[in-house]
Structures are given as structure tokens and as C-alpha cells.
Chains A and B, each alone.
Chain A
Amino acid sequence: MSSTEQGTSSAAPAEPTTAPESAAAPEVPESFYYVHGKDKVVHKVSAGALQHSALIHGMISNLGYTEEQAKANPFPFENIDGDILQMVVDWCNQHKGKPTPPEDTNLPKQKEKLFDLVLAVNYLEIKELLTYCCKQVAMMVKGKSPEEIREIWMIPTDAEDEAAEKEAKKRAGKEAAGETAAAAGDAK
């Protein structure tokens, strides 16, 4: 579905391996765009698949980004890990032009990856996938006791929160004192 290339954005992207269109439908050449995450691995995605992401779709339609420009300068998403972006791209390709099913069983079950995915999907504004991910996050604590929920979601207790706040204030105070001392030293 999606082709992944190791290397920089200038590397020539591989040919897409999209599903064959029905024989009766007139063949319209599909345009492709390129995205890369934190690991600089370039992913080739069809325009149809990118329709899911309101952010990228907006960038293409509002900025008039052509296929050639996209090839030379892939969309950079430095705040998204490579494997997470790969997951998102795969999902977009799988659900290209299809009605989204009520359940998606292919979502990651690991806690960290799921939260990463939620943040990435929220950033890319993929509504359907965000709904699945949020549902998956909610399912993590279904039927669990408050203590278990706190452990699974790593929710600090009110006391821990207060202690962390105090610590942060203390540290900020120390840093400020250090800076003033350094400034006084420089002045001397």
C-alpha cells in the first residue's frame, strides 16, 4: 500500500502499489504526496488517502502544493515518531475512499504507542481515527478500580501534584537565583 524509503527527502520515491481500479471506471492518474516524521523516513501517500487528514488536505488545497513540489519537499512532521507516522499512513491507505467501520482492531494495544498515536492523529486532524483511538484509550480502564486507573493512566494523586508543583517552584527559584548571581559575576 504505502511505500517507505529510507533516506532523505530528495531520494526518488518508489512506484505506488495501489489496488487495481475496476475495469469499467475511467482511469484517472492519482497524485501522490510525501510526508516524513522525526526519523526522516519518507512515506508516499496518495491524495485520496490524505483526504482523511484535515491538516494535510488543508495544506494541499490552501497552499496550492503541487505533486512536484511535494516530491521535492515532503511535508515535515518533526513532532511525530516514524513508526507512528507509518501507522497513520497505513490506516489512511487502508480506509481510502471507504466508509469507516465502527470498530478498528488494528490499533496498537501498548499504552505509550496509543497515546503517541492519539497525539499524532489529533495533530493531523484525522477525526475517524481519533475517535477509534480515544475509544481504545477509554477501553484501557474499563471496569478498573480508581487505583488501577491511576496506575494505568499514570494519573498523579492530588498530593503528588502539589509536591511536583512545589518542587518546580523551588527549582525555578534556584535557577533565578543562579542567573542573578551569574549576572552579578559578569558585571564585576
Chain B
Amino acid sequence: MSENIDLLKLLARIDDLRLEIREIFPEIEEKVDSKSSNFMEILIEEQLRNEETIQKLQNEIQWLKMGKLPKKLEKIPEKNWNCLSEKLKLRCIKFLDLKDRLRLRQTAHNERNLVDFLQFHVDEMLIFGSQNFLNLYKNGESILKISWKNSNFPKNWKTSQILTLFSIFKTSTFDNCVIYQAPNEFDSIFQTFFQKCPPIRTCELFSSGFSIITAGLAKKCREFTKIYECELQETSVDILQKMTAALHVPQLRVLNLNGGHAECNILIKGWISQNPAIRSELFVQFNGDFNVDKFFKKFRKMLARIHGEFEREFRMTDPSKWIFIQITKSSSTIKCTVVGAGI
């Protein structure tokens, strides 16, 4: 009797198991219906499957022990920005405006390098020195305005707007950089500013007035035309010498110069002493009654060995060096062009 009860219990247990199996492996059900309802077969099948599962789990444990992710847990990497090549990234960055590029620059080191590599072209940069204000123009529209009036420069310069300003200098190329300022104003700020300032890539630098700001910018600029519009106090020897002193200056234009023989002499001598390269130009526009012809009569005696009417060869302080300059003059302007040099 008890044996029968045990058998019934066993059958009931098998039934339960069968239901459980159907829940876990619904695909077995089809086979069970189509083939036979032999529980033993199902149990054997289940056992085999369990063994397979156990084997798989053991493999996965092995993988984990080796410090690798099991294959099924490995995430299929989602395609994103990092999947693109540098070339493709640059192609995308090309479509970003300056503000977005400056933001992208802050995300990671690699992105910063990419943004700096792909220079953004700006038509004009206006710096209002006396108001600590900068305005950038592209295609006749203002694209960015920055004011650094309340910046704690140089104390917290890394968190100030000055850092944005430096980023702009790093990421952009300018056609023209115009500085409006009161001479020598904010010198204490700008002396520190220009020590940290990165080079500025501008084709032209126009300065209304000349000060430490201009001198600093001129030193930091590369391959550009310098244009200075002078004011009365800038005819001093010191300032005129500074004007010509910036290195790597192929073109220098001094406009509205209030001066005479002495000032013109300082400019030309100063410019020559910088060893200007071939095709370098010095253009001086005088303001007032300065007589260019009279000056050159004296100038010729003082410095020149004549090669034709308007051509002069200047001996440098080192006798082995020489430059050959072509001079064009009108009633109020002088243009000197280097046409040959032996240095």
C-alpha cells in the first residue's frame, strides 16, 4: 500500500516537473506532443540540456577568472564619435561654428588638438583695449563678443574670459586684427597677458595708436602686415624704435606720422637693422609739411650708395651683410621694398 502511495507521489512529482520543464523550455512541448509522452525521455533530454547549460556556465566562469567578459555578455559597441577616423572627425568639425568649436575643445585632449589643427577663419577681430572688449566678424556679421572687464586677471586667469580669448587665438586665423585703444592704458594687465598669450595668426594688424598692447600683439603675431596709425605722442624715439623692433615682420606701414627728418631716419634705420627679407616693405605716410624730396637728398649723402635714381644699397653694421632697397616716394609717402639681400 505504502509502495503504491510512494509511486503515486513520484508520478505527481514527475507531473510537476513536466509542467516546470514546459514553462522553462516551451519548445520541448512540441516535441512531447509530436513524439511521445514518455516522461523518462523528457527527463533524459532535460538532463542533457542541463549538462549543456552547466558546461556553458562553467566556460563563462572560466572566462571571468581569466579577466575577460564571456562572449554573450560582451556589449556590441555602439557606433559613436570615437569610431570615426581623425579625417572624418575633422570633416565634421568643419561644419561647427567658432562657439561650438570652443566648447568641443573643452571635452577632451584629442578633440582640442583636432579643433586647433583645423583653424577657423575670422575676417576681422576688433579689440577695444580701453573697454576690455573684443568683437569677431565673419562675412560682415558679428560672430562672438567677449568682455574681460571683470576678469580677475592675472590672479585667476585660468577661470576668466582671458582663457577663452587665448583659445580663440589658438583656434583661429584672422584676415585683419584692429586695435582701438588709449595708448599705454592697462599696461600692467597686458604685460602679464602677453607673456601668456599664444601667437596670433593674422594677415594684417592695424593699430590705432601704439602702446604695450600693440607691441605685445606685434611680437605674438606671425607673418602679417603691421599698420600703425600714429598719434602725436608716438613720434618719440622710443616708440618709433619699438614699432620697427618686432621680429618676423615682412610688412610695416606707419600712417599719419607727425614727424620730420629725424623720425623718418629712425624708422628706416630701425627697419633695416631688423634684416628685412626680400619683398619686405616699409610704408610711411607723413602728416604735415614734411618734404620727402629734401629728406632724401640728405639721406642719400648719409647712408646710401646710389644705384639709379630711387635705388639704394645699404651697408649693414656687419660689412659682409647688405640689402638692396627700391624706394618709391610721393610728396607725403615713402615706400621701401627689399629687392635683394646678402646676409
Contacts and interface: CB of A to CB of B under 8 A. Distances in A.
Q: Do A and B come from one complex?
A: yes
Interface of A: 111-112, 115-116, 118-119, 122, 130-131, 134-135, 137-139, 141-146, 149-150, 153-158, 161, 171, 174, 178
B91 A155 contact: no
B106 A146 contact: yes
Given A143-B100, A145-B103, A149-B107, A115 B81 contact: yes
Contacts of A174: 66-67
Q: Is the interface of A mostly helix, strand, loop or mixed?
A: helix
A178 B66 CA distance: 8
B84 A119 contact: yes
Nearest to A139: B95
Contacts of B68: 171
Given A112-B78, A134-B94, 10 more contacts: A115-B81, A119-B79, A122-B85, A134-B88, A134-B95, A139-B95, A146-B104, A153-B81, A155-B107, A161-B109
Interface in B64-91: 66-68, 78-85, 88, 91
Nearest to B78: A112
Contact of B108 (A143, A145, A161): A161
Contacts of B93: 138
Given A134-B88, A137-B92, A142-B96, A155 B103 contact: no
Contacts of A137: 81, 92
Contacts of A115: 79-81, 83-84
21 contacts: A111-B80, A115-B84, A116-B79, A119-B83, A134-B92, A135-B92, A135-B95, A137-B81, A138-B94, A138-B95, A138-B96, A138-B100, A143-B99, A144-B100, A149-B104, A154-B78, A155-B82, A155-B107, A161-B109, A171-B67, A174-B67
Nearest to A147: B107
Nearest to A161: B108
Contacts of A122: 85, 88
Interface of B: 66-68, 78-85, 88, 91-97, 99-100, 103-104, 106-111
A111 B99 CA distance: 22
Contacts of A178: 66
Nearest to A150: B107
A161 B94 CA distance: 25
Contacts of A131: 91
A149 B99 CA distance: 13
Given A144-B103, A174-B66, A178-B66, A158 B108 contact: yes
A138 B109 contact: no
B118 to A, nearest CB: 12
Contacts of A141: 96, 100, 103-104
B103 A149 contact: yes
Contacts of B92: 134-135, 137-138
Contact of A146 (B78, B91, B107): B107
Contacts of B88: 118-119, 122, 134
A115 B85 CA distance: 11
Given A130-B91, A146-B103, A174-B66, A154 B96 contact: no
A150 B108 contact: yes
Top 9 nearest A-B pairs (CB, nearest first) are A153-B81, A138-B95, A115-B79, A154-B80, A146-B106, A134-B91, A134-B92, A137-B92, A135-B95
B80 to A, nearest CB: 4
Contacts of B109: 158, 161
B61 to A, nearest CB: 16
A37 to B, nearest CB: 15
Nearest to B67: A174
Contacts of A119: 79, 83-84, 88
A115 B84 CA distance: 8
Contact of B84 (A111, A118, A161): A118
A154 to B, nearest CB: 4
B76 to A, nearest CB: 10
A142 B97 CA distance: 8
A112 B103 contact: no
A154 B67 contact: no
A131 B90 CA distance: 12
A130 B95 CA distance: 12
